[in-house]
Amino acid sequence: MNIHERSWPAEGLTRIPYWIYSDRDLYAEEQERIFRGETWTFLCLEAELPRPNTFRTANLGDMPVVVTRDKDGAIHAFENRCAHRGSLLCLKERGEAREIVCVYHNWTYDLTGRLTGVAFRRGVGGKGGMPADARPDQHGPRQLRVEVFAGLVFGTASASVAPVERYLGPEVAAKVRRVMKAPAKLLGGYSQMLPGNWKLYMENVKDSYHASLLHMFFTTFRLNRLSQKGGLLISEDGAHHVSYSMTADIAGKEYERAGMRTAQAGYSLEAPELLDNVDEYGDGIGLQILSVFPGFVLQQIRNSLAVRRVVPQGLERTELVWTCFGYETDDEALTELRLRQANLIGPSGFISMEDGAATGFVQRGIRGASDEQSVVEMGGSGTSSEESRVSEAAVRGFWKTYRRHMGM
């Protein structure tokens, strides 16, 4: 069925049709309208390009991208595709290079993505080669517009989308700066494949309702409970969000009184130093999860800092790329704390491993229910910022923006 023949449920943002996660034509159109459309995609940390003549591979949706820092220190991004036969140009995830040579036929590019050399262009011994009027450079990799904001490198295929700071809005931009308060120092990272559509993971990130119910570690050790003071900050257009909670649990006994399965007593850690906390921002916030439409997450959980790239790899397959970082100003003790707390996140993290499973459960559960729909009514029907995290307002904000980009 043509996607334009489908209609959104009459209830609006409080209903999400299940066909939205399993329509192949829709997936292809998302790549064009969203990832290569009027949006900014996070590509990498500026710290991942530490010196001139360095590169890092990334993605714009499912389109492979190369991000470079040229000999003069300027940052560029372009499609990871040779103009000749379409081969990947960069096969390594990161590295140093003064030029990029395609392994297939040795066509050569500079670090701006400009074709600079074609092997045997004039043939051999006056025979073969390209015609004199050939213009292979006209088929070169597509160039992206690039901006660096607070140490984060964003790229877009759009010439008209607003600058990154305006795209984020003042409140979300301020929360980005809060975490990116100093130059980043890379600590490591990991990648995982999730068995679900990319939108399911972005919904999950924006869903503050599930956090203390699905993640037993969160609640058992009082890292994040809905009884803690916190709230949701949602950009005016609904696209981006921040969920935060204070370190102090001011009403933790509500979980015990309610008999929540995640609040059972009697558990302790053999290494309690895992949950040591330094209030390095001076605001008492122990957890801040920030998302930028369409596929970026910036995380502060205690002193564990990370960026996450959400990369569609097919209709029911999503790559999640985590990069953990600290600050160049960190002392040895704080670096050690961040490395310990990296055990909280990632594919087998104490508070992250359930997310990939849960979104996969949804993808499997809806396969026979394409004409049915989710009920997203926690917190009402709006998409505004609010103090309660028992709300799906940020999820509805995602779909508000999604529908605008997709013309639904």
On whether both 400 and 256 belong to a single domain, the answer is yes
35 within domain boundaries: no
Q: What is the mean pLDDT of residues 155-169?
A: 98
Q: What is the mean pLDDT of residues 20-42?
A: 97
On whether both 137 and 176 belong to a single domain, the answer is no
On whether both 188 and 130 belong to a single domain, the answer is no
162 within domain boundaries: no
221: pLDDT confidence band, cut at 50, 70 and 90?
low
220-224, 228-232, 365-369: least confident range: 220-224
123-132, 217-226, 251-260, 369-378: least confident range: 251-260
On whether both 139 and 205 belong to a single domain, the answer is no
Q: What is the mean pLDDT of residues 398-406?
A: 98
116 within domain boundaries: yes
Amino acid 58: pLDDT: 98
18 within domain boundaries: no
User: Alpha-carbon distance 345 to 85, whole Å?
Assistant: 39
Our count of domains for the chain comes to 2
CB under 8 Å to 332, separation ≥6 — which residues? none
CATH number at residue 125: 2.102.10.10
As a three-state string, the secondary structure of 234-277 is ECCCCCCEEEEEECCCCCCHHHHHHCCHHHCCCCCCCCHHHHCC
Amino acid 208: pLDDT: 81
On whether both 197 and 307 belong to a single domain, the answer is yes
User: Alpha-carbon distance 329 to 86, whole Å?
Assistant: 43
Using the structure block, give the residue that is written with the tokens 């990319």. 198
On whether both 181 and 254 belong to a single domain, the answer is yes
Q: Which of 78, 112, 147 is a domain's end point?
A: 147
User: Alpha-carbon distance 133 to 131, whole Å?
Assistant: 5
On whether both 309 and 359 belong to a single domain, the answer is yes
Q: Is the pLDDT of residue 254 over 60?
A: no
Amino acid found at 113 = G
On whether both 275 and 388 belong to a single domain, the answer is yes
Range of the domain at 124: 41-147
29 within domain boundaries: no
> With contact defined as beta carbons under 8 Å apart, do 250 and 228 qualify?
yes
pLDDT per position as a tens digit, 68-103: 999 999 999 999 999 999 999 999 999 999 999 999
289 within domain boundaries: yes
% of the chain exceeding 90 in pLDDT: 73
User: Alpha-carbon distance 316 to 308, whole Å?
Assistant: 19
On whether both 188 and 59 belong to a single domain, the answer is no
240 within domain boundaries: yes
Q: What is the mean pLDDT of residues 301-322?
A: 96
On whether both 96 and 177 belong to a single domain, the answer is no
Q: What is the mean pLDDT of residues 369-395?
A: 91
Q: Mean pLDDT in the chain?
A: 90
User: Alpha-carbon distance 264 to 257, whole Å?
Assistant: 11
On whether both 186 and 133 belong to a single domain, the answer is no
Give pTM, 2 decimals: 0.92
Q: Is the pLDDT of residue 223 over 70?
A: no
pLDDT per position as a tens digit, 332-353: 999 999 999 998 888 887 777 7
User: Alpha-carbon distance 91 to 75, whole Å?
Assistant: 19
Closest CA to 28 of 74, 77, 64, 62: 62
On whether both 248 and 335 belong to a single domain, the answer is yes
Q: Is the pLDDT of residue 105 over 80?
A: yes
Amino acid 260: pLDDT: 45
Using the structure block, give the residue that is written with the tokens 């909280």. 344
157 within domain boundaries: no
Q: Is the pLDDT of residue 215 over 80?
A: no
User: Alpha-carbon distance 285 to 147, whole Å?
Assistant: 28
CATH number at residue 231: 3.90.380.10
